[in-house]
C-alpha cells in the first residue's frame, strides 16, 4: 500500500468518524442530553444549568424539557414567590415531565413555588446556600428543603459551619476541549466510556457518621441546622425526607432508614422549630393501596433511583396539606 492510499484511507476514516458523530449527536439529543452547567455567582446553588437549556433523558425515566431563564426546572415562574423549593436531583426531576414535579404541582395547589433543586445538592449544600437563596428569591412564606438521607456527614457539616465548604466544581466552558465535550454525541460517549472503564474497579460505601458518638453527632446537627434560623426571617422552613425503599421477598416494602438517626433528626428539627415531614408513611400508603412505588421508572431498577411522578405527586400533596395546616 503506497502513502497516497494510506492517506486516502485515513481521510475516509476521519470523515466516517465525523459523520457518525453527527448521527450520534442527533440521537443523543433525543436519548440523553444535559445542557452545559455554569458556576452560579449568586450562590443560591453551587452551579446552574444553561438558561433555557434543552434537556432530554431516556436513560432513567422519559423526559424532554427546557430549563427556565435561570437554568432551573420550572414550568411556570412568577416574579414573586410564596415558596422556595431546594433540593437535589430528586427535585430537579430530570426523569419526568416538567409539569409533573413537586414544584409544578405545588403551583397547581396554589402555592407560587420556585424550584431551585439541582443535582448533587444534598441537605448540606442546600443549608450552605440557604442564605444566598433567600436573598436572591425572597420567598414570602416557606423554604422547603428535600433530603434523601437523615444520616448527615459530620465532617461536611463542620466544613459548612467553619466556612470551609467546597462547592461543586463544574467544567470551564471556555476552553476548546470543553467546547468539544459539550457536543451531545461526544458528551454522552465520554460519560459512557468513563462508566465502562470504571466498571472494572470496585467501589466502597462507608457510613458517614461512623466513629462519632451520638451526642457529638446530635450537637453538630443542631448547630448545622441552626443556620436555617440565623437569617432572622419569619418565613417557615420545612425539611422533607424521602426514604430510599426496597421491595422485600414477601412483597412488602422496607425503608432503608437508620431509625436512631431519624429520631435524632426529628428531635433536632423540633427543637429548632423546623417543620420536618417524613414521607415514609405516605409512601407506604401509596404502595399498600395502589402497589405503586415512589421511586424508579419503567426503564430502571424497581423502587430505586429518583422519585417518579407518583412520588412527586404524593410529596406535593403532603407538602400542600402541611402548609395549609400550618397556616390555619
Partner 1 sequence: MILGSFSFLLFLFAVIIILVICQYIPIKMAERRLIDIAVLTTCSYIYVLVLHWSYALCQLFVTGLCYFAANFYEKTRKKQCIYFSIVILVGVLCYFKYTNFFVNSIRAVAGLDSVTLNIILPLGISFYVFSAIAYLIDILRGDYLAEKNFLDFALYISFFPKLTAGPIVRGKDFFPQIKEYRGIQWDAFKVGIQIFVFGLFKKIVLADHLGVFVDDVFRTPTAFNTGTVVLAAISYSLQIYFDFSGYSDMAIGVSKILGFDFKPNFNLPYISRNVSEFWKRWHISLSSWFQDYLYIPLGGNRKGKVRTYINLMLVMLISGLWHGAGWTFIAWGALHGVASCVNRAFGEKLKALGSWVNGAFTFIFVTLFWVVFRADSFPTAVKVWTGMFTAHTGINQPYTWSFFAIACLIVGTIVAWRHSKETGKKDRAGLLIIEGFYPVLDLSKLWNQVAFFTFIGLTFIMGYFGNTAFIYGAF
- Judged on CB neighbours under 10 Å (0-12, 13-18, 19+), 145 is buried
Alpha helices by DSSP H, 35-122: 89-92, 102-108
Smallest distance, Å, CB 257 to partner 1? 20
Region near partner 1 per CB under 8 A, out of 86-94, 132-140, 145-153, 185-193: 185-193
Member of 29, 75, 189, 272 binding partner 1 (CB under 8 A): 189
Q: Does 200 bind partner 1 (CB under 8 A)?
A: yes
- CA nearest to 102, candidates 127, 123, 75, 128: 75
Q: Is the dihedral of CA 86, 91, 97, 103 positive or negative?
A: negative
Total binding residues toward partner 1, as defined by CB under 8 A:
39
CB 150 within 8 A of CB 261: yes
Region near partner 1 per CB under 8 A, out of 174-182, 189-197, 227-235, 315-323: 189-197
Q: Does 204 bind partner 1 (CB under 8 A)?
A: no
- CA nearest to 227, candidates 139, 97, 126: 126
All three cell numbers of 214, joined, read 451520638
CB 328 within 8 A of CB 120: no
Of 251-310, binders to partner 1 (CB under 8 A) are 251, 291-293, 298-303
Q: Does 168 bind partner 1 (CB under 8 A)?
A: no
Member of 7, 10, 193, 260 binding partner 1 (CB under 8 A): 193
Q: Does 171 bind partner 1 (CB under 8 A)?
A: no
Element containing residue 15 per DSSP (H, E): helix 3-31
All three cell numbers of 82, joined, read 410564596
- CA nearest to 315, candidates 304, 306, 305: 306
Exposure class string for 265-292: b at 16+ Cβ within 10 A, else e: bbebbeebebbbbbbeebbbebbeeeeb
Smallest distance, Å, CB 196 to partner 1? 6
Measured distance CA(164)–CA(129) in Å, rounded: 13
Region near partner 1 per CB under 8 A, out of 10-18, 87-95, 123-131, 277-285: 10-18
Q: Does 179 bind partner 1 (CB under 8 A)?
A: no
Smallest distance, Å, CB 276 to partner 1? 29
Smallest distance, Å, CB 62 to partner 1? 8
Region near partner 1 per CB under 8 A, out of 7-15, 63-71, 142-150, 209-217: 7-15
Member of 29, 76, 235, 247 binding partner 1 (CB under 8 A): 247
CB 142 within 8 A of CB 237: yes
Q: Does 2 bind partner 1 (CB under 8 A)?
A: no
Region near partner 1 per CB under 8 A, out of 128-136, 193-201, 205-213, 267-275: 193-201
The secondary structure of residue 45, as a DSSP letter, is: S
Smallest distance, Å, CB 12 to partner 1? 5
Residue 52 makes CB contacts below 8 A (sequence gap 6+) with: 66, 67, 68, 69
Member of 15, 256, 260, 281 binding partner 1 (CB under 8 A): 15
Member of 117, 185, 236, 243 binding partner 1 (CB under 8 A): 185
Interface ranges with partner 1 (CB under 8 A):
12-13, 15-17, 19-21, 23-24, 27-28, 31-32, 185, 188-189, 192-193, 195-200, 247-251, 291-293, 298-303
Amino acid at each position: 500500500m503506497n502513502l497516497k492510499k494510506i492517506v486516502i484511507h485515513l481521510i475516509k476514516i476521519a470523515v466516517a468518524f465525523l459523520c457518525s458523530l453527527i448521527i450520534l449527536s442527533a440521537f443523543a439529543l433525543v436519548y440523553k442530553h444535559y445542557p452545559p452547567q455554569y458556576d452560579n455567582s449568586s450562590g443560591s446553588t453551587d452551579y446552574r444549568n444553561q438558561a433555557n437549556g434543552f434537556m432530554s433523558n431516556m436513560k432513567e425515566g422519559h423526559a424532554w424539557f427546557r430549563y427556565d431563564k435561570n437554568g432551573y426546572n420550572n414550568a411556570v415562574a412568577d416574579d414573586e414567590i410564596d415558596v422556595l423549593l431546594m433540593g437535589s436531583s430528586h427535585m430537579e426531576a430530570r426523569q419526568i415531565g416538567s409539569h409533573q414535579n413537586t414544584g409544578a404541582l405545588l403551583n397547581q395547589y396554589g402555592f407560587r413555588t420556585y424550584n431551585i433543586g439541582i443535582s448533587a445538592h444534598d441537605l448540606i449544600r442546600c443549608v450552605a446556600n440557604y442564605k444566598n437563596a433567600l436573598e436572591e428569591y425572597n420567598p414570602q412564606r416557606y423554604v422547603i428543603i428535600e433530603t434523601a438521607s437523615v444520616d448527615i456527614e459530620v465532617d461536611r457539616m463542620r466544613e459548612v459551619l467553619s466556612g470551609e465548604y467546597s462547592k461543586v466544581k463544574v467544567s470551564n466552558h471556555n476552553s476548546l476541549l470543553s467546547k468539544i465535550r459539550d457536543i451531545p454525541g461526544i458528551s454522552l460517549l465520554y460519560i459512557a466510556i468513563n462508566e465502562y472503564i470504571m466498571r472494572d474497579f470496585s467501589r466502597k460505601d462507608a457510613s458517614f457518621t461512623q466513629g462519632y458518638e451520638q451526642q457529638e453527632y446530635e450537637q453538630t446537627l443542631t448547630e448545622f441546622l441552626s443556620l436555617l434560623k440565623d437569617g432572622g426571617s419569619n418565613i417557615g422552613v420545612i425539611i422533607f425526607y424521602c426514604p430510599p425503599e426496597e421491595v422485600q421477598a414477601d412483597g412488602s416494602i422496607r425503608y432503608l432508614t437508620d431509625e436512631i438517626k431519624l429520631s435524632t433528626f426529628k428531635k433536632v428539627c423540633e427543637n429548632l422549630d423546623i417543620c420536618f415531614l417524613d414521607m415514609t408513611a405516605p409512601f407506604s400508603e401509596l404502595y399498600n393501596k395502589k402497589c405503586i412505588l415512589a421511586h424508579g421508572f419503567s426503564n430502571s431498577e424497581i423502587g430505586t433511583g429518583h422519585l417518579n411522578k407518583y412520588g412527586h405527586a404524593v410529596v406535593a400533596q403532603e407538602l400542600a396539606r402541611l402548609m395549609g395546616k400550618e397556616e390555619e
